[in-house]
Amino acid sequence: QVHLVESGGGSVQAGGSLRLSCAASGYTYARNSMGWFRQAPGKQREGVAATYIGGRADYYVDSVKGRFTISLDNAKNTVYLQMNSLKPEDTAMYYCAASPGWVSRPLEGTAYNDWGQGTQVTVSS
């Protein structure tokens, strides 16, 4: 059974940093695509960053390029999202998602089969 657990959310002031973690278990981690998504109240879910672990290709939505970085710790089966220079508009619930193999649209939620429970990020001005 696939299991994803996010952690690391919190409240920070604009300009601050947070690192989100997604611990994965229950499947062959090394050949998966994993993504970070966010959803703010009243807004649609948005793909933020994604990576194909098998080929180590990374993808970012334009609004976070240069500020967010997705990374891996293969020994811990964990994917991280380092978020720097946070802005109030980054406030949202952040979710980790996973899917077997490579996905053609890594920043689209429909590409993923499994989701974590989410971790809240709040950025104040």
C-alpha–C-alpha distance, residues 12 and 112, integer Å: 29
pLDDT band at residue 55, thresholds of 50, 70 and 90? confident
CB contact burial 81-103 (16+ within 10 A = b; e otherwise): bebeebeeebbbbbbbbbbeeeb
Q: Are 81 and 36 in contact (CB under 8 A)?
A: yes
Q: What is the pLDDT of residue 26?
A: 79
Q: Which of 20-34, 58-72, 79-93, 96-110 has the lowest mean pLDDT?
A: 20-34
